[in-house]
Structure 1
Amino acid sequence: MRTEVAIEALGAKGDGVARLGGEPVFVPFALPGERVVVESAGARSAPVEILERSPERQEPPCPHFGACGGCDLQHTGDALYRRFKRGLVVDAFASQGLEAPIAELVPCRPATRRRAVFAGARTGGGGFAFGFHERRSERIVPLHVCHVVVPAIAARLEALGRLASLIAPRRGEVRLTVTATDGGLDLAAADAGKLDERQRRNVLSFALAQDFARLTVNGETIVEARRPRVAVGTVAVEPPPGAFLQAVPSAEDAMAKLVLEHLAKSKQVADLFAGIGTFALRLAERSTVRAYESDAPALAALDKARRAAPKLRPVAFERRDLFRRPVTAKELASFDGAMFDPPRAGAEAQSREFAASKLPRIAAVSCNPATLARDCRILVDGGYRVLSVTPIDQFLWSHHVEAVALLER
């Protein structure tokens, strides 16, 4: 049954929100102020026709938009887009009863994302699909162009798809993490098929012919023509295969600038969920740092980079699962500043230890405004105040946003 609805707002995942009988209806790709006809009156309804078009609607630049699930908001004008992303942070903090000063969104440009995870799978008739998943679907949308990733990745989509087809399992998907580094493309394949010797030789030859810097398959290095390196401040780091990196270098720089300025007077700094040293190596330019991280290869990369940069101050490190064993308030007594950058789940247990500590300054970095606000609520209840929260865009045209919160006791 077709129904006409009025779009009132954008939902947290970028869908237009209307109401029918007092219940919300989520309409993909609809914008506030529009009247649209939808196919049904269910909770999620596909738009059929736009009767009244928002002046904030724009033409999506990508031909895959609407099918590819990588982008939600290419049809959204810049002003509405910025309000939406900042609003995600505002709403998250308001839901925790926090009246934090929320800055304007720090934007990012198209074609700046240096790391992406693609999927590949065999299709009927001997075909192969390589790209991103369709919205709310396991179907892979084959990509020919991408306006989000850096040109070094976008120009190689065909070659990356051919490589994925060589290593894909007979059933299921292969995941290919592609990172643009100073040494070239660093490729890490997971859930690939088991390679026999002939396949291994073919994959090796193909990777060399395509001049990829490094290729690992299911954790095994097939070829390393050059060492992949990324710049972390003034230090070159060799990330482990498939390692987590901030997606956009300019966004990483913006986050680092906020953290470093906030902790400028701290002489002893704890960096929790330190990864490859994205913040620790920058902090070590003027502070002594202790880095905590559960991933051994990431810590090894951090340590190697630190030893190659003798002008930095000492960086000690400890392998530690901070979800199961947070750094205690007693341990934190030896620091006069701290920062944390946890996964999307946040750092609830660690925040409780921070709240019980006497640390004068804390910087919190997060890709999930909801868990960031929850953790800040714990810190505020423990005697801190939020000085500022800065939304930072590094997931262009998606409903995801990064944020940095700065707190002091």
Structure 2
Amino acid sequence: MSTQTVTIDRLGALGHGIAHTSEGPVYVPHALPGETVAIARHGSQGTVISTAKTSTDRVAPTCRHYDPDRDACGGCSLQHLAELPYRDFKRELVVAALAAKGLTPEVGPLVACGPGQRRRTVFSVRRTEKELLLGFNRAETNHIVSIEDCPVASPGIMDRLEQIRRVAAALASAAGAFRLAVLETLTGLDLAADGLKPLGDKQRRGVVEAVLALRGIARVSANGEILVEPQKPVVDFGGVLVSPPPGAFMQATKEAEDAMAALVLAHTGKAKRVLDLFAGSGTFALRLARTARVHAVEGEEKSLKALDQAARNTQGLKPVSVEKRDLFRRPLTAQELKAFDAVVFDPPRAGAEAQVRELARSGVKKVVAVSCNPLTLARDLRLLADGGYGIRTVVPVDQFLWSPHVEAVALLER
């Protein structure tokens, strides 16, 4: 370890300040461009000891758990950056990723996300000899910082934090940490624990007793198994009610989901036959079915069943067909794609390279690419552009407030 004074040149992709030195770049969390800081340096990593010059873009963090001088929560990394430069940083993540692949399409303004909008959050939980820890890991560690509030999470989650703790306590044993995903639904909170060792009868009874004594908990599951379900959790996809399976993928905020869905619907327009790939529980498919016949393809069977059931139980939709298929190993071929006027795809962070290669060979007129990873989105868009698609626009969406993660929606057509 060495101590040195550096000037921060820019922000890196993770939101860390980057200083260029004779020994190479050093990455300094919580430092901003233009700041001069004394750091304790460990290789390419630096920790701020003191600040000689402060950026005018620095603001006071919103959350008491954010203070890097104390036991700081690692859930956020950019609360100290003022709103306008923060938005520029998020948008630039998308611009830079596209430029690295030789793409310079129009990139729209960032669709902003406000505090208190996160309807889904994942807590880390561990029981110690003294207490139950429920919160978020300190940055780049397994150390759990127990929280009392979170300005990112929705009031519907934060107002029931003590209830969540009681359920977590019933699930927890002395054997290690686990994750507890909490989703706010129309009928109550859906709690899905993952990474637990098999539960004993005592734990199971404890969970059931805890939930039945509480209000506002719709379901609790562990490792995909439903332990207790006073009410089926229900979410609203554009007026279509869906009961997703335990731990199912869900857009982090309802506001971001609605904004992305509006872009999808506007671009597909009057398409009569639409293909929704990586369809999940129907985020886009069920909205699209208001005006088009939809074929929804998803690799996770339980999510697909939830989508199918919702479509069957909702009046006023066009026909919705479903198909369970691993799109990484068996993408729809260019020949199969000929049946569709428009294609929407929203893959995991790894992107959809195999499927995009087939899509690039197809004659589909309109394509919407939704992604939570600008790097794999840029790779996939490069393939589509090389296949003859024009990129009309790319819209960055900030549903992961104060983090270095950004969603994006790309609209393409032949």
TM-score, normalization: structure 2? 0.96
Amino acid at match of 1:268: R
Q: How does 1:9-408 map to 2 (within 5 A)?
A: 9-21=10-22, 23-40=24-41, 42-65=43-66, 66=68, 67-123=72-128, 125-211=129-215, 212-408=217-413
DSSP-derived class of the 2:49 partner: strand
RMSD (Å) for aligned C-alpha atoms = 1.1
Provide the identity percentage.
51
Q: Could you list the per-position Cα deviations for residues 86-133 of structure 1 after superposition, in whole angstroms to 9, with x for gaps in the alignment?
A: 00000000000001110010001100100011111122x343211111
Structure 2: distance between partners of 1:33 and 1:75: 14
Bigger mean CA offset, 215-224 vs 54-63? 215-224
Bigger mean CA offset, 309-318 vs 152-161? 152-161
Alignment: residue pair count: 408
Distance 1:308 1:92, change over 3 A: same
Structure 2: distance between partners of 1:40 and 1:200: 48
Structure 1: distance between partners of 2:248 and 2:267: 27
Structure 2: distance between partners of 1:224 and 1:159: 15
Structure 1: distance between partners of 2:73 and 2:36: 24
| CA shift for structure 1 position 41 | 6.1
Structure 1: distance between partners of 2:377 and 2:195: 32
Structure 1: distance between partners of 2:41 and 2:282: 50
Preserved contact between residue 166 and residue 210 of structure 2 (Cα < 8 Å): no
| CA shift for structure 1 position 380 | 0.3
DSSP-derived class of the 2:65 partner: coil
Q: Could you list the per-position Cα deviations for residues 294-340 of structure 1 after superposition, in whole angstroms to 9, with x for gaps in the alignment?
A: 01110111011101112000010100000000010000011111010
Preserved contact between residue 111 and residue 148 of structure 1 (Cα < 8 Å): yes
Preserved contact between residue 63 and residue 150 of structure 2 (Cα < 8 Å): yes
| CA shift for structure 1 position 196 | 2.9
Q: Could you list the per-position Cα deviations for residues 159-189 of structure 1 after superposition, in whole angstroms to 9, with x for gaps in the alignment?
A: 3223222212432212111000000101111
Structure 1: distance between partners of 2:266 and 2:343: 13
Preserved contact between residue 289 and residue 317 of structure 2 (Cα < 8 Å): yes
Is 1:4 aligned with 2:5? Answer: yes
DSSP-derived class of the 1:12 partner: coil
Structure 1: distance between partners of 2:365 and 2:304: 27
Preserved contact between residue 114 and residue 247 of structure 1 (Cα < 8 Å): yes
Give structure 2 stretches of 5+ with no counterpart. none
DSSP-derived class of the 1:90 partner: helix
| CA shift for structure 1 position 217 | 1.9
Preserved contact between residue 39 and residue 46 of structure 2 (Cα < 8 Å): yes
Structure 1: distance between partners of 2:202 and 2:23: 62
Give structure 1 stretches of 5+ with no counterpart. none
Structure 2: distance between partners of 1:45 and 1:198: 47
